[in-house]
Chain A
Amino acid sequence: MTTTRIIEIECQRFNPQTDSEPHFQSYQVPFSEEMSVLQGLQYIKDHLDGSLTFRWSCRMAICGSCGSMVNGVPQLSCHTFLRDYFPDKVRIEPLNHFPVLRDLAIDQTDFLAKLESVKPYLIPDTEKTPAQGTYLQTPQQMDEYYQYSECINCLLCYAACPQYGLNKEFTGPAALALLHRYNADSRDAGSAERMEVINGENGVWGCTLVSYCSEVCPKGVDPARAINQNKINSTKDYFLRFLQPRGGK
């Protein structure tokens, strides 16, 4: 049985062509038990205000497009339900710490550059041709990196990270977790190339282990753990280079 109730959804609005400052606009949205916050936004766009701009695609926490601040918490709006906020209102804002393009849509350019900087792809020791077969891996070897490969680049962790908020140069949780995902993969031999990013002031050392990134991740990735494991790796790299012969890597 579905009962329809009315909830107030308050959206942050910003049109760069006409507004100098963002402002809030409220909508009265009828909802049923199974409706997500994203479906609430879709209702507004279809029935109340076609100008409301927000990103979405899969509706099932796989694509990572619909991240926004829901009552101040970074959330996938498809993964958050209106029933949990009723009878209070829901306030939806664009993700923290990113430039706003329009309404709830943010500009991810900065993150994409950072993602590229960590070389998020396998760099094998010796390249194999398809005729030479596949790269083999045991289930234990896969366990080493599997959780980090679940990242969907939704950027909730960047919105949660106070360090990214204070310093936009910080490589940030998702990019560093993905860096670790490839370094921890037994088929990869690219660690030395990625070490430079880890060792820099804006690599793992930009993190102060607040760990809110891991808390808000909708996919159970633990970026804080990846970053802090690499603080140990960076420290080893820092001191062990003095024990290596000159010219050693």
Chain B
Amino acid sequence: MIRRSNKPVFWSLFGAGGMVSALIGPMLVFVTGIAVPLGFLLPHDALRYERMLALAHNPAGKLALAVVISLFLFHGCHRFYHCLHDFGIHVTAGMKAACHGFAAAGTALAVYLLLVIGF
């Protein structure tokens, strides 16, 4: 009997993260990195503190932030883990746990902060 791999769990998170980052990533870079700071197409105060706080207070906003942070992290960490392997750096169980653990910890922290910030 060949032991079943647990990769489907991490690959699903990686795949979902890839999808979300492909769809939302470029837009986020444009809005937060170009449009708002330069006042190009969007006003300078589009991302000001009160607005962002309102976004984080709104349940739909919380969900969107949690999904973006969590799946981006899982996608990036999984990619990093495979790159190490491709470069011939032998990936130990500890390094695998560190990569995916970092994403899990980031997710837990984001969810915790989104909850304590209030509704």
Binding site for B on A (CB under 8 A): 162, 166, 196-197, 199-203, 205, 208, 210, 231, 234-235, 237-239
Sample (25) of A-B pairs whose CB atoms are under 8 Å apart: A162-B86, A196-B2, A199-B4, A199-B5, A200-B2, A200-B3, A200-B5, A201-B5, A201-B7, A202-B2, A203-B2, A205-B7, A208-B85, A210-B86, A231-B8, A231-B11, A234-B5, A234-B7, A234-B8, A235-B8, A235-B12, A237-B8, A238-B4, A238-B8, A238-B9
Interface residue? B82 (CB, 8 A): yes
Is the pair B4, A200 in contact by a Cβ cutoff of 8 Å? yes
Top 3 A-B residue pairs of the complex, sorted by shortest distance between their CB atoms = A238-B8, A200-B2, A235-B8
Interface residue? B41 (CB, 8 A): no
Binding site for A on B (CB under 8 A): 1-5, 7-9, 11-12, 82, 85-86, 88
B24, chain A: closest CB distance, angstroms? 22
A212, chain B: closest CB distance, angstroms? 12
* CA gap between A197 and B1 in the complex, in Å: 9
Is the pair A166, B2 in contact by a Cβ cutoff of 8 Å? no
Is the pair B8, A239 in contact by a Cβ cutoff of 8 Å? yes
* CA gap between A40 and B72 in the complex, in Å: 53
* CA gap between A47 and B66 in the complex, in Å: 72
Is the pair B12, A166 in contact by a Cβ cutoff of 8 Å? no
* CA gap between A234 and B12 in the complex, in Å: 11
Known: A166-B88, A208-B85, A208-B86. A203 touches B5 (CB 8 A): yes
Beyond A196-B2, A199-B4, A205-B7, 19 additional pairs, beta carbon < 8 A: A162-B86, A166-B88, A196-B1, A199-B5, A200-B2, A200-B3, A200-B4, A200-B5, A201-B3, A201-B5, A202-B2, A203-B2, A205-B5, A205-B11, A208-B85, A210-B86, A237-B8, A238-B4, A239-B8
B102, chain A: closest CB distance, angstroms? 19
Contacts of A208 in B (CB 8 A): 82, 85-86
* CA gap between A239 and B5 in the complex, in Å: 12
* CA gap between A235 and B85 in the complex, in Å: 22
Is the pair B11, A235 in contact by a Cβ cutoff of 8 Å? yes
Query: Nearest residue in B to A235 (C-beta to C-beta)?
Result: B8
Contacts of A202 in B (CB 8 A): 2
B11, chain A: closest CB distance, angstroms? 6
* CA gap between A208 and B87 in the complex, in Å: 12
A156, chain B: closest CB distance, angstroms? 20
Contacts of B1 in A (CB 8 A): 196
Contacts of A166 in B (CB 8 A): 85, 88
Contacts of B85 in A (CB 8 A): 166, 208
Contacts of B2 in A (CB 8 A): 196-197, 199-200, 202-203
Contacts of A200 in B (CB 8 A): 2-5
Contacts of B12 in A (CB 8 A): 235
Contacts of A205 in B (CB 8 A): 5, 7, 11
* CA gap between A220 and B75 in the complex, in Å: 31
Most buried by A among B1, B5, B82, B85: B5
* CA gap between A205 and B3 in the complex, in Å: 12
* CA gap between A200 and B85 in the complex, in Å: 18
